[in-house]
Structure formats: C-alpha cells, structure tokens
Structure 1
C-alpha cells in the first residue's frame, strides 16, 4: 500500500503533466494564454489599452455580465442550460427600480425583494424541469420570452425609469475603494485562498488521498498574490479599485468555496457527472436541480441590479441585446463544460475578462461591431472544441 507521506511529497514530473493534459485536465491554462495574447496584441496596436484608466473601465464593464455568468455556471454544472438569465436580470432590475423610485421603498428592501423575485422565477423553472420533465432548453426559452414581456408590461408606455445619481443603487458603480482598503481586501483574498487550499490538503492527507507536491499550491498562492497586487497598483493609479469588482470577486470566491468544500457542491458535481449514479448514492437529484435553477436566477437578478447601477436607469433593453449570449460564452470560454460535471466559478471571471478585453480592444481600434461578433463567436467555438476534445480524451 502506498504510504501517504510518500504520496504527498511526490512532485509532478513533465511526463505526468503532459499525461494530465492529454486526458483533458487542461485547467485554466488555455484561457490564461489567451488573455496574455490579447494583452500583447491590443497593447501593441493601441497604447491606451493597458492604461490604468482603460483597465479600470474594463473591471467595471465585466462585473454585471460576470455575475450573470456565475448563475449560468450553476446550471451548466448539471449539464443543463438557462436561456432566461438575461430576461430575468432585466425584469428583476425593473422590479427593484419600480419599488425604490415609484413606490419609494428603502433601496435595500427593494433590492432584496428583487432577489426574492429572481428566486421565485428560478423555483418555477426548476419545478417545470423536474416535475413536469420539460427540457431545460424549452423551459428557459419560454422564460426568456415571457419575462421579457412582463418587463415591458411593468415599464408601461414610459419605457424607462431613471435612478438618482446620488442614490444607493447608482453609488454601487460609482464607489472606489481607498488604497488601504484595496490592499486589505487583496490580502484577505490571498489569505482565504491559501487557508482553503491548506485545509483541503490536510483533509486529503488525513483521508490517505494523494495530493500534489508542496511547490504547486505555494506557486498558486504566490501567483494570485502577484495578480492581485498588480491589479491594485494599476487601478490605484486611476480612480482606485471599483466596488463592483470587489462584489463580483467576492461572489466568485464564496461560490467557489461552496462548490469545493460543502456537501451541496459535491452533490452538484456528482449530479452533473452522472445523474443515475448520484441518485443511487442517495443524493436528492431533484432538490439539487431546483436549487441550481434558483441560484441561476438569483445571480441573474443581482447582475441586472449591477447593470442598472452602471446605467443609473432601467429601460426596455435591460437584460437584452447580447448579455445572455456573453454570459453563456464567458462560462464556456472560462472552462465550464457544456456536458456537466466540470467547471469552477473562476470560469466566469476568466471568461468575461476574455470577452470584455476583446470587445474593449476592438472599440479602441474602432473595429465594426460585426467583426467583434465574429471574433467572439470564433473564440467561443474554439472553447467548445477544446472542451469536446478534452471530454473525448478523458474517456480514452
């Protein structure tokens, strides 16, 4: 029997690393490589692309859609799809605006009510999927159309509700962390990440399970520290770290901890990997599926509120345009499998960063939107191709 200490100290060899890649364990490396290539290409074509001002704007632009993408990931982990996320985000933002501006509710209570509305929408979708056994594609496609119609009905003939620039909701996107607080948040994120990795490592050792060599988690913590420190330095050279980015980053971290270190998270991956095996193991498959749709809609609602904060308004186009497609593309480009059972919440962060970087860079170069759509489509197709090849490789 292999000694646990020997297993712990065993480092990755180049041959083992290649073998892991061959069997589909690509991790985030393709996305990281893509981000580096994007930075090099657009940075060389336009000197403003890597400026502190533009990078800060980029952080603001990705928060709302990235939050919606987090919800999409919850459903994709089960091998399902949620096409209603965009419409739900717009509808819940309108609910929030009506309650806070027309009915003069407290903004926090209006936001909470909008999130509850999102949860009820997700509950309805989940029950239609699990109880009536309607395909998730059909359920959420109907939701996409129906919730968009309800949004238009609630807005009425005016078609727009403006939010006060000095109000609580608008201030969410116009609040910047002071330097000391930004560094504190960065240090806290590194500490939480390191502690999470250490706890997981000790639990695996206690269970006599193999773990990676010590240098690998240390390198990951060091890499995260370097990335966060660089981000704080760059954005502090402009207006500072935006509160929206902190909110989005916090959601990514919390949901990642939930998926990796709770029974609910393990059940999510189990159901997405093999529904029948999960059912025979005693997992409440129906409950997990319903909760996934609820989480998707709640995160979509919150993403819609963040988008309304940036615009200081809601209108008939809220949650429309290409928001849904970008949210799904971000999840897939970031490494979440369309076949279920594989993916991390960091996929939303990496994927939306890729999409927004491409979009931002093309805007700076005055490239026509038609070209931007085609390039984004090509990147998405490449991501799906990599996922398909990795899945095929993992079965050989």
Structure 2
C-alpha cells in the first residue's frame, strides 16, 4: 500500500510537457476519442475547396457576414438539440416549434400591437410549454421520444397554419427584432466585446492552470494553454477585423460591423458550455446519457433530467425561430418546416455530438452549424441545384454518424 501511495503521489507531482501532452492526445485519438477533430478537419477542407472554386466571392467580406447570419438560427437550434442528444433521445419537432414560437411573436406584434419584449417573452414561454409537454410524455408517460416528437412535428405545423392562415404571411417590422439579423454593432463596440471575451477566456484558462499546479494535479503545460488562448484570440479579433471592413455593394453607402445576432449566439453557447461543464446539472445530464440506470441508483432524478433537456431544446428553438423571423422580416405557415430540423440535427452530429448519448459539447453546435452553412453557402455560390445541396449535406451527416459509430467501437475495443 505504501508503494502504491508513493507512486500515486509521484504521478500527482509529475509535470506534463508539450511532448507528453501531444503523445497523450494522439493516444486518445487512436483509441477513438476524436472530439471535434473531424468537424474541424471538414470545415477547413470545405473552406479551402470553396475558396479555390470561388476565390473572388467565397471569402469576401460580404459573404463572410452572410455566413455568420445564415449560421445563427441553425446553430441555436442545434445547441438545444445537443442537450437532447446527450441523453440518446431525439426531438423531431424542434424545427416546427421554432415556427410556432415565431408565429406567436409576430401575431402579438401585428394583431395585438404588443412591444417586442412582451412578444419575445410570449414566444419563449410557448417554447418552454411545448418542451414541458414533450418531456412529460417522454419521461413520465414513457412514450418514445421519436413517436412523441414526430406527432408534434405534424401537429405543430397545423397550429402555425391556424395562426397565420394558408398562404398568409405575417410581417416582422419591429426595429429591435429586425436588428438581430439585419443590423450591425458599432465598430468600437465589436472590438470592445472581442477584447473583453479574449481577456476573460485567457484569465479563466490561466486561473485553471494555476489551480491545478497549486494542488499538484497533472494538467496541461503552460505552452499549450498559451497556444489555445492565441487561437481563440486570433479567431475573435480576426473575425471582428473582417466584420469591420466595408462590405456594401455600392460606394455610396457604408456597411460594416459585427451583426447583432452574433453576440446573442455567443452568449447562448457560453451559457450552455458553463451549464454542461461547470454545474451539477451538467454532470447529471452526462451521467444519465451514459447510463440512466446507474445514474438513477446514484440518486439522480432521471425523470427531471429527461424533462429538462426537452424544455431547454424547445426554448432555444423559440430563440432560433425569432432569429429566422428577423432574417426574413416575416413569418410564413411553413416556418421551421422543410429541412430546418435536418440541418440542425446534422449540425449537432457533424460537430461531434453522439447519437448514442453521453458524448457531446456545446461547441459542437457551432462547429457543425458552420459546416452545414458553409456547404449550403458554397454550393449556392457555385450555382448547384437544390437536390445537390441535400445530397451532399446528407452524405456529410452520414459520414459523421459513421465516424461516431466507428469511434465508439474503437473505444470499446481499447477499454476506454
């Protein structure tokens, strides 16, 4: 026992170097723990491909701004689905839920003349109620989530049609709502937020490294921490710089700045990351997704966790619906239908969230949303027909699911 304790204490004092960190990471990759590696590789490959095919337009300032705006609603919807997928469940109604919530917001604005904050609250409450109903049927009544959400996928479209009317359109003209996807922040504010986020991220990573060192725990080497901070800083500050360039099609007007919707998405992703990684609730979500019976025996309220993830997903679907309404300046009866759900599920899975539950992060929604948006945007610039976009997006989703399944088999074989 004394020898074992001494060995353990020595391991706690061992300093990890850049070389050992690289070896550990490669060992995890070989064991099937791929993380976000496939989605990052796919995103970089797609950017290189479309830049080579459309060098004059794909990486232009105007198209980069379009990419961010197009990715917002898909990313938010995928972010909510990450919580559901972590439990090995599915929500087929998330897309049409966003449409119903957007319709509620628009009708209250137009017919009742309510201010934007009242209509936004009403849309969020609508999403929360829908999610609570789904969670109740799945967690308490024990109906499979596939059946429940498929039924709501059909039923909620009828509600949207009833609210708006067949062939109708409800315009969205409120300045605050429209600004989400169509207006930009002042240049100084964009730089201020980017700098603040960089400083906060750097401080949090350095503080974590210092605490691990003080407690004698094996952690990441300081060089790796500095490299991660540099990558995040380059992404934030570089993106802000590109958004600050004038992208107006005419020299008579000036169009620059970060779209207002981008910090909204950033706040949601940061909040979801904090909840999943830093709270007891997040640990319970992973525990239930990994093994629900073991989690129940450990004292976790599995029923409450299952209900809550559907409520989170539907509430975020409401936010996605409002962002879409802002981008389109209107709400139609088919809002949230069609390929909206498929793109969102595809974004979550492509980003790295497992369909089998227990594995995934909030960042997966961002990476997957960017991959899906880049595919749609790039193929649009190439003039590809709609069927080609569907075929390629479906193929990428199938590839991501296959990689996930193979990685799980590899992990099982290596005992991880």
Say which one has the larger Rg: 2
Stretches of structure 1 that go unaligned for 5 or more consecutive residues are none
Q: What is aligned with 1:218?
A: 226
DSSP-derived class of the 1:3 partner: helix
Give TM-score, length-normalised by structure 2.
Answer: 0.91
Q: Deviations over 1:243-301 (max 9, x none)?
A: 11111122111111111111111111111111111111111111111110000000001
Q: Does 1:269 pair with 2:269?
A: no
Q: What is aligned with 1:189?
A: 197
Contact 1:4 1:208 in 2 (8 A): no
Q: Could you tell me how far apart the structure 1 residues matched to 2:215 and 2:294 are? A: 22
Residues 366-377 of structure 1 aligned to structure 2 (within 5 Å): 366-377=383-394
Q: What is aligned with 1:29?
A: 37
Q: How far has the Cα of 1:101 moved from its partner? A: 1.2
CA shift in 2, pair 1:198/1:274, >3 Å: farther
Contact 2:13 2:218 in 1 (8 A): no
Residues 291-302 of structure 1 aligned to structure 2 (within 5 Å): 291-302=308-319
Q: Deviations over 1:6-28 (max 9, x none)?
A: 33434453443321101222122
The correspondence for 2:101, drawn from 84, 92, 100, is 92
Residues 217-296 of structure 1 aligned to structure 2 (within 5 Å): 217-237=225-245, 238=247, 239-296=256-313
The correspondence for 1:9, drawn from 12, 16, 33, is 16
Aligned pair count reads 395
Q: Deviations over 1:155-190 (max 9, x none)?
A: 1246211112x5321122222112221111112222
DSSP-derived class of the 2:33 partner: coil
Contact 2:13 2:216 in 1 (8 A): no
Q: How far has the Cα of 1:106 moved from its partner? A: 1.4
Q: Could you tell me how far apart the structure 1 residues matched to 2:223 and 2:87 are? A: 33
DSSP-derived class of the 2:170 partner: strand
Q: Deviations over 1:69-88 (max 9, x none)?
A: 11111100111111000010
Q: What is aligned with 2:364?
A: 347
Q: Deviations over 1:65-117 (max 9, x none)?
A: 11111111110011111100001000000001111111111111111111011
Stretch moving more, 44-53 or 173-182: 173-182
Q: What is aligned with 2:153?
A: 144
The correspondence for 2:337, drawn from 302, 314, 320, is 320
Q: How far has the Cα of 1:206 moved from its partner? A: 6.7
Contact 1:194 1:221 in 2 (8 A): yes
DSSP-derived class of the 2:331 partner: strand
CA shift in 2, pair 1:180/1:138, >3 Å: same
Q: Does 1:173 pair with 2:181?
A: yes
DSSP-derived class of the 1:177 partner: coil
Q: How far has the Cα of 1:193 moved from its partner? A: 2.6
Q: How far has the Cα of 1:210 moved from its partner? A: 3.3
Q: What is aligned with 1:303?
A: 320
DSSP-derived class of the 2:141 partner: coil
CA shift in 2, pair 1:207/1:151, >3 Å: farther
CA shift in 2, pair 1:328/1:39, >3 Å: same
Q: Could you tell me how far apart the structure 1 residues matched to 2:303 and 2:204 are? A: 29
Q: How far has the Cα of 1:44 moved from its partner? A: 1.1
CA shift in 2, pair 1:168/1:352, >3 Å: same
Residues 35-114 of structure 1 aligned to structure 2 (within 5 Å): 35-46=43-54, 47-114=56-123
Q: Could you tell me how far apart the structure 1 residues matched to 2:397 and 2:210 are? A: 37
The correspondence for 1:116, drawn from 121, 125, 144, is 125
DSSP-derived class of the 1:176 partner: coil
Q: Could you tell me how far apart the structure 2 residues matched to 1:257 and 1:111 are? A: 24
4+ residue runs of structure 1 moved beyond 6 angstroms?
none
Contact 2:18 2:221 in 1 (8 A): yes
DSSP-derived class of the 2:379 partner: helix
Give TM-score, length-normalised by structure 1.
Answer: 0.95
Superposed CA RMSD: 1.7
